[in-house]
Structure 1
Amino acid sequence: MAEVDFELLRRLLAESARRAFSKLREMRPNETFYAFALYTVDDAVVLSPSANTEEAYARVRSKYASSGKFTEAGLLGNFRWSPYDWECDCVGVEAFDPVIALINDRGVRPI
């Protein structure tokens, strides 16, 4: 059995998030970010950063609002507040490689 070094995990998560979200802000210096998210799927073997800007939301909202397929609630739920549908989904994911290695038992200390 192995014991996870939670202090190391906490430090790696903070450093990785800082790198990933800084990269996003550098890529879009003229846009206004309103949300940053970090999520995983059920098995928690990969961490994915995601972010969105007011400008990106306006672009996608304009595109789908005119289609008539989405209500206002649908636009908000699908495109404003769903990290999976944001323009910057998974941008900077490589910053989390050290965290992913630790989570997947490649960086644990044996008991």
Structure 2
Amino acid sequence: MDWPALTNDIASAARQSFSDLLAQHGGETFYAFALYTDEDCYTVVPAANSLEPYRAKMAGLRNADPQELAYYRWASAEWAYEDYASAPFHPICIRLGEACAAVSGDEAAFAAFKAHVHQAMTEALKLLDAEGFFGRHRQGAVLFITSSDFGESRAMEDCSARLLNPPDICETFLSRQDME
């Protein structure tokens, strides 16, 4: 696989998806933009959330404890804009599925494949950030990558957050389980 091309393709797809999102919901206060994958890296899709749908969801919860609140705030599967306008990612997912199938059964090759996909996702967000893509929505918003596999998601999120965010935003994100 051509990893630099994959990074650029992910950045392009994210640019399209997040542009659609911001065109429709740009008046909201976004606090997170992410790219997520699955345990086998067959997919890469966008996710984002803003305070408005988060607060609306929390208003419906009674007696939520701080960990529950943190989960709803930071788990991309709970976000209002998970997999939003993801059509630009479909060709990427097809390529990833084929590439994953080619290395299945070879533990070392699969581990290298997975590490490259995670790096491409992180670098794609870094490219968007460097070009100023998020504009005013970047202020206070955290960028990170994650996985639908709970066992690996926390380490991915923390590592990518350190690479993609200013120290103050990163520290707030890293202390997310203590929040709310």
Unaligned segments of structure 1, at least 5 residues: 107-111
Q: SS of 1:60's equivalent? A: helix
Structure 1 outlier segments of 4+, above 6 Å: none
More helix by share: 2
Which structure has the higher relative contact order (CA within 8 Å, separation 6+)?
A: 1
The whole-number CA distance in structure 2 between the counterparts of 1:7 and 1:90 is 23
Q: Which residue of 1 aligns with 2:69?
A: 75
2:8 paired residue number? 11
Gaps of 5+ in 2: 100-180
Higher strand share: 1
For residues 26 and 36 of structure 2, what CA distance do their matches in structure 1 show?
A: 24
Q: Is the 8 A contact 1:12 1:98 kept in 2?
A: no
Partner of 2:88: 95
The one of 29, 32, 41 equivalent to 1:32 is 29
The one-letter amino acid of 1:95's match is P
TM superposition score normalised by structure 1: 0.81
- Which residue in the other structure is 2:153 paired with? none
- Distance in 2 separating the partners of 1:97 and 1:58: 31
| AA at the equivalent of 1:99 | I
**Identity between Structure 1 and Structure 2 (%):** 30
Pick one of 53, 56, 63 that aligns with 2:53.
Answer: 56
Q: Normalization by structure 2: what TM-score?
A: 0.52
Shift of 1:74: 1.2
